[in-house]
Structure 1
Amino acid sequence: MSDLSTEFRLPSGCPSCGSHRMQVSEVKNPDDKVFCASCRRFVCLWHEAESALEHGPSSETEALIEKVTNRKSE
């Protein structure tokens, strides 16, 4: 991933390492690839990540973590 990327937190973790921190290009086109910020594994496409963010976290604790983590990127 290039330096022109944005980090955010997904409700679901990376299948490889479990990290919730992800990276996507700043452009955020629907077909942009989302990578795990920890292990750099491809996780999903941006439009899939947007859908996961819209459906929200699975618990109140996850919701609070995401609110704080994703606040700076809004």
Structure 2
Amino acid sequence: MSGLSVDFRLPVACPGCGSHLMRVSQVKNPDDKVHCASCGSYVCLYHEACSVLEKGPGSESEALIEKAVNRANR
């Protein structure tokens, strides 16, 4: 399924395992489900994830990590 999906990092961790790496379909429709890339748990809808990304990271170190991980997907 990795060929049909895109991984990205959220500043909010997965409630199941604590990972910040998330997975969404390549299409990125607002109502697409975002799942944890590590444990596969449902986290939120893509439009909700976009809202979290727009708010920005909580710290400078989070900002640097997100910039490095998400640069290929934007």
Following TM superposition, the consecutive aligned residue runs of length 4 or more in structure 1 with deviations greater than 2 angstroms are none
How far apart in 2 are the matches of 1:66 and 1:2? 20
User: 1:23-60 deviations in whole A, cap 9, x for unaligned?
Assistant: 00011111000000000000000000000000010000
CA root-mean-square deviation = 1.0
Question: 1:23 matched to which residue of 2?
Answer: 23
Partner residue, 2:65: 65
Identity, in percent, stands at: 68
Match of 1:3, SS state, is: helix
Scaled by the length of structure 1, what TM-score is found? 0.95
Q: For structure 1, which runs of at least 5 residues remain unmatched after alignment? A: none
* TM-score, normalised with respect to structure 2: 0.95
Equivalent in the alignment of 2:33:
33
Paired residue total = 74
SS of equivalent to 2:47: helix
